[in-house]
Chain A
Amino acid sequence: MMTYDIVIVGGGPAGLAAAVAAREAGTQSILILERDHELGGILNQCIHNGFGLHTFKEELTGPEYAYRFMKQVFDEKIEYKLNTMVMDISPDRVVTAMNKTDGMIQIKAGAVVLAMGCRERPRGALNIPGYRPAGIFSAGTAQRLVNIEGYMPGREVVILGSGDIGLIMARRMTLEGAKVKVVAELLPFSGGLKRNIVQCLDDFGIPLKLSHTVVDIEGKERVSAVTIAKVGPDMKPIPGTEERYTCDTLLLSCGLIPENELSKSAGVELNPVTSGPVVNESLETSIPGVFACGNVLHVHDLVDFVSEEAKKAGENASKFVKEGAAKSSKEPIKLVATEGARYTVPCTLDTDRMDDLLTVRFRVGAVFQDSYVSVYFDDERVMHNQKRIMAPGEMEQVILQKKKLSEYPDLKTITIKIEKE
């Protein structure tokens, strides 16, 4: 059996940033396992710009952003294996992987960083009735076909769901000469970033119909038409509101699901809200020495935050390798999201192990205007930040100070909620 101090599952933005950070923290023996034929993950097909504004203070394309990290991996001579699928992770951190040249290999890892990313919700999971012809794609699959393979999935397009990839693809398909007829979104608000709605739909005159869903797909061989209808507050289609669009393509951008099948088989506890692992302040899962970051932990809208999070995971994995499992005398403080806040990452916090500042990320469950993000230390409100607008498509954060926490030695629960005043 091979041994490595740190095995990183996934060579996308999260895995790359974790690897670089772990090396900078002094760990020599690192192995990245990547299933695709190159490093960079999904960024390779994100050829639009807008990446890196936070990290590099400049606008990069996806591949350019990925290359900044890949170069560090190359320069640091961090080991990686491509075309390699991780088949299993055991609770005692034995990683089983497979590729053409090594066959099936087992690697004993001092620490594991989970960085597998996420997948798109398919048509089947949406219970959309109708035929099952060719021409129905998840937005990311269409993006791969167009940007990597160089093929057009179709000419006349309807998009269901206003997730960022769907919005980006509305623009991309339009630039390639396709006609994007409408974007329908089930919810009364978009799941994508505001800037993407402006730059990808508004600038091209593509209508966004909120509170609409697909109620029929026509075409026995290839999609020939799609019917959308308005939905009521119960999310059920309202009869009489149907609009039929002739088209040859339906793209779906209806949510991303963290890919945690490996985490589950390892016995990692998952948060039902995020579908990602439950982690502590060190981004360590319920299995000591197994860390998680990026979209496998919770779906991000900006890769800059993925890199930042992954850096922490890499540093903490390195620390785990050097110092072993953290021993703490006290119960960790629980982080609770309620009243408008849907979840927090992390879920628990140990003040002995945290840095001076800890970024807690969360999402809201609806659109809030002129509201406050409030943080309670048990029953005492300690933070009350006004926000003009908050939406589910944009990740929020609060920063906790170790110094401030030290004033509350018996603190049990930190609650984040959204308040009107």
Chain B
Amino acid sequence: MTYDCIIIGAGVSGSATARELSKYDLNVCVLEKGEDVCSGTSKANSAIVHAGFDAAEGSLMAKLNVEGNEMMGQLAEDLDIPFERNGSLVVCIHEEEKGGLQELYDRGIANGVKELKLLDKEELHKMEPNLADEACAALYAPTGGIICPFMLNIAMAENAAMNGVDFFFNTEAETLKRDEDGIWHIRTNNGEYKTKYVVNAAGVYSDVFHNMVADKKIHITPRRGDYCLLDKEVGNLVSKTIFPQPTKLGKGVLVSPTIHGNLIVGPTAIDIEDKEATATTAAGINDLIEKAGMHVKNLPVARKVITSFAGLRAHEDNHEFVIGEVKEAPGFIDCAGIESPGLTSSPAIGKMVAGIVCDLAKPAKKANWNGKRKGILNPSNMSVEERNELIKKDPAYGQIICRCESISEGEILDAMRRPLGARSLDGVKRRTRAGMGRCQAGFCSPRVMEIINRELGIPIEKITKSGGKSVIAPERTKAGKGGEA
């Protein structure tokens, strides 16, 4: 079969595009090399919805950031995912650099950011009592927000799947070419896929696909960002997202509450070559601890960290989103160079890319498109009565599996039973938060493995952390094999 459109990559950009395209009478599929959606750049970032004052005036980045920010509230409601406009602060700690805030303010206004406000020292410390004493002024953006990148990505993909988009996982696009009839042939490790239009949403690999078909080459540098996630106990140290003043390498090390109540510190910005090198380094983590402490006092990074991780931004040399059809490759549409503020912009990116596809394909709108999706129940938001009602109906909601995050068996089963359901420990974790707490899955992983085994029939020895060769417990013990222990 020939698809109308194939999207390479099931990150936020690809999934947002898939959801937008699912509104139309089109055969669409998404090819993802990982075993799940949200397996690359989308999974490891600051989990922030940027207001939009950073990107250069007149840039596509600025436009889509502000648009994406404005769309996020309704989208979060439609997809039933948590989102909060907690507001962000760019904090100045050197009197002589205050001018930079005015510049940012002006740029924000030019970009169309609403409600921006410059704060003096007193207002600032009243708003955030735990800022460093040196903090002397700030730019306040009430429209800044926090969101769960996994949930946003998963929800958009799920909703696209509900509306007919096919997703193929463990399917890595290798090469592509256009035949004389104008049909694109994409070779993958799982055979060939044919399509009229291709969307290149391949994250750090988007330059590879672009350069296969385009005359004007682009270059994506994986820019590594290390992060530390802190215990919920200190999640309320600050209420706003605290940025330092930006430098040419990016927006600097932020300190922010997460939508789930932890505190996140990061990222570093280290340009590397290897597009898979998500290893943290001691130097990176130390750098983080030092820099984060400059703006927020009493930050217990070393004592209260529960995990650290690194993500790769798909940094394009011109620091701009590359979105559009490649002239010399009709039907090949780039969605490349999507780095920060990519998560924020993703709803707008999806709309723009889908718009380009629709301009070419001129499809009819589906009559029965449903843009709403119910998330996994969160029983901790329920009253005792509601919860008892739920447990009576489905006792699995009465069995807590992840004790740190209080996640029940019912939620874990739901994560596996819904469209594009979880098949690995990380898949369960990103959908339910089981294993994301302070013990970092020490207690719950054997129990989640047992549930995966029971529900999906995957033998314990084959259950993975996140697909591929990431098996957890590769073989039986002597006694497990039926021999003498």
Residues of chain A touching chain B, judged by Cβ–Cβ distance below 8 Å, are: 35, 83, 85, 87, 98-104, 106, 119-120, 122-125, 127, 129-134, 138, 140-141, 144-146, 148-155, 176-177, 215-218, 220-222, 237, 261
Residues of chain B touching chain A, judged by Cβ–Cβ distance below 8 Å, are: 228-229, 276, 278-282, 284-285, 302, 305-309, 384, 387-388, 391-392, 395-396, 398-400, 403-404, 406, 438-443, 445-446, 449-450, 460-461, 464-466, 468-480
A357 to chain B, nearest CB (A): 37
* Max chain A C-beta neighbours (<10 A), residue from B228, B281, B465: B465
Q: A104-B398, A141-B446, A176-B478 given; name 12 further pairs at CB < 8 Å.
A: A98-B387, A100-B398, A124-B440, A125-B306, A125-B438, A127-B305, A131-B278, A149-B449, A149-B450, A149-B473, A216-B279, A222-B470
Given A140, A152, A221, A237, which contacts B475 in the complex, CB threshold below 8 Å? Answer: A152
Q: In the complex, A125 Cα to B442 Cα: how many Å?
A: 12
B306 to chain A, nearest CB (A): 5
Contact between A152 and B279, CB atoms less than 8 A apart: no
Q: In the complex, A98 Cα to B464 Cα: how many Å?
A: 30
Given A35, A85, A104, A177, which contacts B384 in the complex, CB threshold below 8 Å? Answer: A104
Contact between A131 and B471, CB atoms less than 8 A apart: no
Which residues of A have CB within 8 Å of B475? 151-152
Contact between B446 and A148, CB atoms less than 8 A apart: yes
Which residues of B have CB within 8 Å of A123? 307, 440
A82 to chain B, nearest CB (A): 11
Which residues of B have CB within 8 Å of A127? 228, 282, 285, 302, 305, 308
Contact between B309 and A132, CB atoms less than 8 A apart: yes
Which residues of A have CB within 8 Å of B391? 98, 100, 103-104
Which residues of B have CB within 8 Å of A216? 279
Contact between B399 and A129, CB atoms less than 8 A apart: no
23 CB contacts below 8 A, A to B, read: A35-B400, A83-B399, A85-B406, A99-B398, A100-B396, A103-B387, A104-B387, A104-B391, A104-B398, A122-B438, A124-B308, A125-B305, A129-B281, A129-B308, A140-B442, A141-B443, A141-B446, A150-B477, A151-B461, A151-B476, A152-B474, A221-B466, A261-B404
Which residues of B have CB within 8 Å of A150? 476-477, 479-480
* Max chain A C-beta neighbours (<10 A), residue from B281, B309, B443: B443
Q: In the complex, A327 Cα to B276 Cα: how many Å?
A: 65
Contact between B460 and A149, CB atoms less than 8 A apart: yes
Contact between A149 and B446, CB atoms less than 8 A apart: yes
Given B228, B229, B469, B480, which contacts A151 in the complex, CB threshold below 8 Å? Answer: B480
Which residues of B have CB within 8 Å of A120? 439, 442
Q: In the complex, A123 Cα to B228 Cα: how many Å?
A: 12
Contact between B446 and A153, CB atoms less than 8 A apart: no
With contacts A127-B302, A221-B469 known, is A119 near B476, CB below 8 A? Answer: no
Which residues of A have CB within 8 Å of B276? 220
Given A104, A122, A237, which contacts B440 in the complex, CB threshold below 8 Å? Answer: A122
With contacts A100-B398, A141-B445, A220-B276 known, is A176 near B477, CB below 8 A? Answer: yes
Q: In the complex, A212 Cα to B468 Cα: how many Å?
A: 32
Given A119, A138, A177, which contacts B478 in the complex, CB threshold below 8 Å? Answer: A177
Given B388, B441, B461, which contacts A103 in the complex, CB threshold below 8 Å? Answer: B388
Given A100, A124, A177, which contacts B399 in the complex, CB threshold below 8 Å? Answer: A100
Q: In the complex, A153 Cα to B384 Cα: how many Å?
A: 39
Which residues of A have CB within 8 Å of B305? 124-125, 127
Q: In the complex, A85 Cα to B443 Cα: how many Å?
A: 13
B76 to chain A, nearest CB (A): 27
Which residues of A have CB within 8 Å of B472? 134, 145, 153
B72 to chain A, nearest CB (A): 28
Which residues of A have CB within 8 Å of B284? 129
Contact between A151 and B460, CB atoms less than 8 A apart: yes
Q: In the complex, A125 Cα to B276 Cα: how many Å?
A: 24
B384 to chain A, nearest CB (A): 5
Contact between A101 and B395, CB atoms less than 8 A apart: yes
Q: In the complex, A153 Cα to B446 Cα: how many Å?
A: 11
B458 to chain A, nearest CB (A): 13
B482 to chain A, nearest CB (A): 10
Q: Which residue of A lies closest to B396 (CB)?
A: A100
Contact between B387 and A133, CB atoms less than 8 A apart: no
B364 to chain A, nearest CB (A): 43
Contact between B306 and A124, CB atoms less than 8 A apart: yes
A247 to chain B, nearest CB (A): 13
Contact between A222 and B469, CB atoms less than 8 A apart: yes
B167 to chain A, nearest CB (A): 21
With contacts A104-B391, A122-B439, A124-B229 known, is A133 near B465, CB below 8 A? Answer: yes
Which residues of B have CB within 8 Å of A153? 472-473
B396 to chain A, nearest CB (A): 7
A292 to chain B, nearest CB (A): 18
Q: Which residue of A lies closest to B410 (CB)?
A: A100
With contacts A134-B464, A221-B470 known, is A101 near B398, CB below 8 A? Answer: yes
Which residues of A have CB within 8 Å of B438? 119, 122, 125
Contact between B473 and A151, CB atoms less than 8 A apart: yes
A138 to chain B, nearest CB (A): 5
With contacts A124-B229, A129-B280 known, is A100 near B395, CB below 8 A? Answer: yes
Which residues of B have CB within 8 Å of A132? 278, 309
Contact between B470 and A152, CB atoms less than 8 A apart: no
Contact between A134 and B439, CB atoms less than 8 A apart: no
